[in-house]
Amino acid sequence: MSTDIDFYQLLEVERTADGDTIKRAYRKLAMKWHPDRNPGDAEAEARFKAISVAYDCLKDPQKRAAYDRYGHAAFTQGGGGPGAGGFAGGADFGDIGDIFETIFGSAFGGGGRARPRRGADLRYDLEIGLEDAFHGKQAEIEVEVATACTTCSGSGATPGTGRRACGTCHGHGKVRAQQGLFVIERPCPQCHGRGEMLEKPCRDCGGEGRSDTIQKLQVDIPPGVDNGTRIRLAGKGEAGPMGAPAGDLYIFIQVRRHAVFEREGTALFTRMPISFTTAALGGSVEIPGLDGETHRIDISAGIQSGKQLRKRGAGMPVLQGRGRGDLVVEVQVETPTRLTARQKELLCEFRETETGEECPESRGFFDRLKDAFSG
C-alpha cells in the first residue's frame, strides 16, 4: 500500500468533512475494531490504534491544519512542517510508523523481519520472618524457568547446521493479502515473522533454543524490606526463543506475622501488660528488641491502659537509607484474678482509705451521671 493512505481514508471520510462527521465515523470504526470486541486479533488492535491516532489529529483544528499542509511529516522528527518536533499531548505521533506498519506494511514504517522476542519476566513470592526483614539476609530459592538449551547454546539449531531463508515469505518475514482498499501485511505463519528457518532443529529443545530447568539462585534481601518490596534479578527470567535475550525475575517479599511485634512502616508496635500496682506506683520494664538489645521502658505512676510509650530509634531500619523507626509500647493494665487471702485483706484496707481523689476519671464519670439524672 502506498503512502497515499492517510488519516481521512483511515476514518473513511472526505477531506472536507466537518468535526461532527469525523467524530461519528471514528465512533463507528472504534466500535468495530475495539480489542474487547476482537480478543486476540492483532490486526484489529492495530487498526484500532491507527484510527485513534487519526482521530486524535483530525479532531484538533491546529493538528488538522498542519496535517493538511504537511502530511505525516508534520508529526515526525525531521519533517518539514511546524510540528516536526511533535505536538504536546494527545497520541504519540512519533510512533505513527510503527502503528501503520502493523496493518499497512513497510510503506509507512519500513517493514522488515520481526525483532527477536525477549523472554518473559517472571515473579517469585518469597516469605521471610520479621527478624530477616530487620537484619536482611541472603536467601536461596529454586525456580523452574526456561533457560538457553545447553545442546545448541540457545540457537535452536542442531550443532553444525545453520538457517535458511523462509520459502513462504522469501526471507521478508511477512506475507501480504488484498482486503478491499487495503493491502494487509501479516507476520509469516511459517517462520513467525523471522524470515528464516532452521536447517535442522535441535532435538533437545525442538528448535526453541530453550528448555525448562530448575535453577538455584541467591537473593540478597536488604534490611528494612516490607510486604510488597520488589527485588529485580536482571536476566534471570525466561530465556528468549532462539537466542533472544532473557527476561527478568522479580522477587516479591511477604513478611510473616510476628508473635510479639506488629509493623507499620518503620515503626514496631507491641502491647505490654503490667500489674495494677506497677501502674499505680510506676516502675520500669525491659523488652528485648529485634536488634538483639534490651530496651528499658519507664512507666510513670498512675499510667492508664492504652497509653503509648515510645522508644526512639528502636524500630525497623529504613530501607536503602539511614536510621531506624521507633518502638511503640501500648500499656495494658492487668487486673489480678487470683489473690491470696493476705492480698485481699490489704486491698480491703486500701479501699477503706479511698476518698475518690485517687481515681479522678471514675469520680468525674459518676459526677456526670449524677448531674445528668438529677432533676
| Burial label, 375 (beta-carbon count in 10 A; 0-12, 13-18, 19+) | exposed
Binding residues, by number, are: 149, 152, 166, 169, 188, 191, 202, 205
* Distance between CA atoms of residues 30 and 11, nearest Å: 10
C-alpha cell at 148: 538457553
The single residue listed with the C-alpha cell 538457517 is: 163
Round to whole Å and give the CA distance between 115 and 164.
17
Largest Cα span, the chain: 107
Which residues, including other chains, have CB under 8 Å from residue 94's CB and lie 6 or more apart? 75, 76, 77, 86
The b/e string for 305-335 (b: 16+ C-beta within 10 A; e otherwise) is eeeebebeebbbbeeeeeebbbbbbebebee
Q: Where are the beta strands (DSSP E) in the chain?
A: 122-128, 137-148, 163-165, 174-179, 182-187, 196-198, 210-221, 230-233, 249-255, 262-264, 267-275, 283-288, 294-299, 308-311, 327-334
Contacts of 187 (CB under 8 A, 6+ apart): 114, 173, 174, 193
Binding-site residue numbers for Zn(2+) are: 149, 152, 166, 169, 188, 191, 202, 205
Helix (H, G, I), strand (E, B) or coil at 290: coil
Grid cell locating 262: 506488629
* 8-state DSSP, 57: H
Alpha-helical segments (H) within the chain: 7-11, 19-33, 42-58, 61-70, 96-104, 106-109, 130-135, 276-281, 341-353, 360-373
Q: Which residues of 189-203 are buried (b: 16+ CB within 10 A; e: fewer)?
A: eebebbbbbbeebbe
